Structure 1
Amino acid sequence: MSDAETASDAPVETRQARPEDREAVVAFTRDTWPELGGDYIPRVFDEWVETDGADQRTFVATVDDQPVGICQGALLSDHEAWAQGMRVDPAYRGRNISPKLTEAVYEWAADSGATVCRNMVFSWNDAGLGQSRAMGFEPLAEFRWVEPEPRAGANPELDIVDDPTVAWSVFHGSDAYHELRGLGLDLEESWALAEITKERLAESDRAFAVADDERARGMTYRTRTFERENDDGEPETWCEYGVGAWDDHETLRALGDAIARDAAEQGAEQARMLVPETPRHVSDAAYARVDFSEDPDFVLERDLTRY
C-alpha cells in the first residue's frame, strides 16, 4: 500500500504548534526541495515555536494529534499579515490540509486587526501558486534580486545622501513604487514584504539615496546582515537591501557601487537588493553590469476586510 492509502482517515484539526511536534514536522519537511539543499523549516521550527506570541502564530494541521501540515502567520504592522512556511505531509495530500491551515492563519490575522494577508511564492512553484490562488490570494507584484559584489574600493559616481526621508521620497515617486505596490523587505521578518514608510526606513540599518547636483536619483535601505551556507557548505556573510529604485542604468551603476562599498564595510562577501521584475529594471541591471538572480518571485495578497 502507498503512504496515502495507509494514512489515517481521522478528521483533520488545526492548532498552535508545540515543541513536541518537532520530530513529525521535520520528517515531512526535510526533503521538500532536495535539489535546493532541502527545506528551511527544520532549521527554524524550534525558533518559530519559541517566539510565537501576539504578533506571530505557528499552526499545525493534525490527524489523531499527529502533525501533518504546518504554516505560520506573522503581523508586520497593525494592518499587514504575512503567511509563510506552508507544508503538507505528502501522505496526506488531498485531505484539504492546506486550506484548513490557511483559514486558521486568516482567522488569527483578522482577529489580530489585519486587513490584508500576503505571501510569497517562487515563480517555479506551480503547486504553491495554484494553492495560493485557490485560497483567495490574488497576484500583486513580482520581484527579482540584483547582486552587487561587495568591494571596499567601490567609488560611486553620484553623491551618497544618508537621509531616510530623501530615500522615501525617491521611492515614493518612482516606477518601482508602482510596480511593487509600495512594498519592500520587512525589517524583522526575513523573506517578507511590507509597506515602506518613512518610519520603517528610519528604523532600518541604513537608508540612503544617490544624487547628482540637482536631485536624488536612486535609493535603497539595508535590512539585515546574516550568514548562510554557500554551495560548498561554507558560511558566507550577506548584506540584504530591502528595495532598489533608480532613474536609469547609470544611476543603478552608482547605486550598485554604493551597496558594494556599504556591504564590504559590514564584512559581507555577498549582497542582494530586491527590485521590480520588469524589462526596464532587469535590462538596466544587465546594462550596468550588475549581477541578478535567475528567477523572479511572486507576491500575492488576500483581502481580510470582510473576513
Structure 2
Amino acid sequence: MSDVTVRQARIDDHEAVAAFTRETWTDRELEDWIPDAFPEWIETDGDDQRTLVATVDGQVAGICQGVLLSPEEAWVQALRVHPDVRGHGVSRRMTDRLLAWCRDRGAVVARNMVFAWNGAGLGQSRASGFDPATELRFASPEPTAEAAPSDHGPRDAEAVVDPAAAWRYWTESDAREHLRGLAADDEESWALRELTRSDLDAAAEDDGAIAVRTSDRTVAMAVRSRIDTRPAETDAGAAGSEETVAVYGATAWDDLEACAALISAIAADAAGIGADDTKVVIPETVRHVSDVAACRVEIGDEPDFVLAADLSGRDAP
C-alpha cells in the first residue's frame, strides 16, 4: 500500500487520532477513551511508556501504546487503525515497532486485553503476534460497612490483614493457575501483571492484603490493588463530580461459602476506605463466575481475554 511510517506520537496528532477513534465501537454504544487520554499520554511518555502513531502518506492512521509494568513485563494497549487502511498491515507495523521498544527495555513478555465481543480486536492481536493467555471477568460487590464474612459464609469466618496467609493461599489456588499468576496492576488502568509477594506486603500497609480464615485455615484471599476515580454515573451526581472505585486485582476462594465470606470482606473493606464502587477481578471459569453470581453480586456481561507475546527470542524489526 502507500508509504507507512511509524513514529512517536506528538501532541499535534491529537485531532487526527480523536477523529478516527471516537466511533471505534458505534455498534456497542460505547465511547472510546483514547481521545480523552491522549494529551496525558504525550505528557507522560518516557523511559517506561511509549505512544506510537502510524502515518499513511503523511496522515495519522493508527495508534498504540506500550507501558512497562515491571522489569520483565510490558502492557500493550490502545491499538487502533483508521477504518480506511485496515487489513493492509498497519497494525502489524506499529506492533512490531512497539514490541521492539518493549524488548529493548528488558521486557520478555508483552500482554494486552481484548473484550470478548471484539472479534476484530482479537483477530488483530493474533495477527500481531499475541497468543491466548487467560480470561477473566469483573464483579462489583456494593460497598457495605456492616458486612461481615460470617454473614453468609462459614460461621467462624473472619477477615484479617495477613499478607503471608493471602500470598500462600494465592500461590496454591486454582484461581492463580487459571489466571497464570496475573492480577490488576497497582497503577495502570486495565493492565495486568504477575502478582508478587511484595505486592501483598505493600497492600498490607493500607490494610489491603485480605485473608479470610476460619478456625482452622485460610479459605479465601483478595488484594486491593489501587483506587481509581471516574465521572459519577448517578443522575444525582453534580456535573463534573467523581466517584472512587476500589480495585481488587486478585481473588481466590475455596467454595461457594468461602466466596460469600470474601464478598462480604471486600464490601466492608471498600466501605471502610470510602469507595463508591468496586471492581473485582475473578477468573473466567464456570465455578468462579457462578459462585459470584450465586452471591447476588453484579458481574460483567461478558469476559475479557488476555493475550501475550513472547519477547524472549524476538529480534527487533
Shorter-chain TM-score category? over 0.9
CA distance in 1, matches of 2:62, 2:167: 39
CA distance in 2, matches of 1:61, 1:83: 15
Helix, strand or coil at the partner of 2:299: coil
Question: Which shifted more, 38-47 or 91-100?
Answer: 91-100
* Letter aligned with residue 8 of structure 2: Q
* Letter aligned with residue 38 of structure 1: E
Match status 1:32 vs 2:39: no
Match status 1:46 vs 2:39: yes
Question: Which shifted more, 132-141 or 157-166?
Answer: 157-166
1:175 matched to which residue of 2?
174
Q: CA deviation at 1:208?
A: 1.2
2:184 matched to which residue of 1?
185
1:17 matched to which residue of 2?
9
Contact 1:253–1:290 (CA<8 Å) still a contact in 2? no
CA distance in 1, matches of 2:235, 2:100: 42
Q: CA deviation at 1:233?
A: 9.6
Residues 36 and 264 (structure 1), Cα distance of their counterparts in 2 relative to 1, 3 Å cut: farther
Q: CA deviation at 1:96?
A: 1.3
CA distance in 1, matches of 2:40, 2:162: 34
Q: CA deviation at 1:212?
A: 0.6
CA distance in 1, matches of 2:234, 2:113: 24
**Residues 108-145 of structure 1, C-alpha deviation per residue, up to 9 Å, x if partnerless?**
01111111111100000000111111122111101011
Provide the aligned length of Structure 1 versus Structure 2.
299
Q: CA deviation at 1:279?
A: 0.7
1:255 matched to which residue of 2?
262
1:293 matched to which residue of 2?
300
Contact 2:148–2:158 (CA<8 Å) still a contact in 1? no
Match status 1:213 vs 2:215: yes
Contact 2:137–2:283 (CA<8 Å) still a contact in 1? yes
* Letter aligned with residue 5 of structure 2: E
CA distance in 1, matches of 2:130, 2:30: 28
**Residues 38-90 of structure 1, C-alpha deviation per residue, up to 9 Å, x if partnerless?**
10001110111111111110010012433211000011111111100001111
CA distance in 1, matches of 2:166, 2:59: 49
Q: CA deviation at 1:10?
A: 3.7
Helix, strand or coil at the partner of 2:79: strand
Contact 2:108–2:312 (CA<8 Å) still a contact in 1? yes
CA distance in 1, matches of 2:35, 2:274: 28
**Residues 4-60 of structure 1, C-alpha deviation per residue, up to 9 Å, x if partnerless?**
xxxxx6411001111111111111111112434310001110111111111110010
Contact 1:163–1:207 (CA<8 Å) still a contact in 2? yes
Residues 178 and 233 (structure 1), Cα distance of their counterparts in 2 relative to 1, 3 Å cut: farther
Structure 2: tracts of 5 or more residues without a match: 151-156
* Letter aligned with residue 302 of structure 2: D
CA distance in 2, matches of 1:94, 1:80: 28
Match status 1:245 vs 2:252: yes
CA RMSD of aligned residues (A): 1.6
Give the one of 251, 276, 279 matched to 2:286: 279
Helix, strand or coil at the partner of 1:72: strand
Helix, strand or coil at the partner of 2:146: coil
Structure 1: tracts of 5 or more residues without a match: 1-8
Contact 1:250–1:288 (CA<8 Å) still a contact in 2? no
Q: CA deviation at 1:300?
A: 0.6
* Letter aligned with residue 216 of structure 2: E
Contact 2:42–2:51 (CA<8 Å) still a contact in 1? yes
Q: Give the TM-score normalised by the residue count of structure 1.
A: 0.93
Question: Which shifted more, 86-95 or 248-257?
Answer: 86-95
Residues 36 and 201 (structure 1), Cα distance of their counterparts in 2 relative to 1, 3 Å cut: farther
* Letter aligned with residue 177 of structure 2: H
Question: Which shifted more, 155-164 or 199-208?
Answer: 199-208
* Letter aligned with residue 71 of structure 2: D
CA distance in 1, matches of 2:310, 2:257: 39
Percent identity over the alignment is 52
CA distance in 1, matches of 2:288, 2:173: 12
Question: Which shifted more, 189-198 or 224-233?
Answer: 224-233
* Letter aligned with residue 11 of structure 1: D
Q: CA deviation at 1:232?
A: 5.2
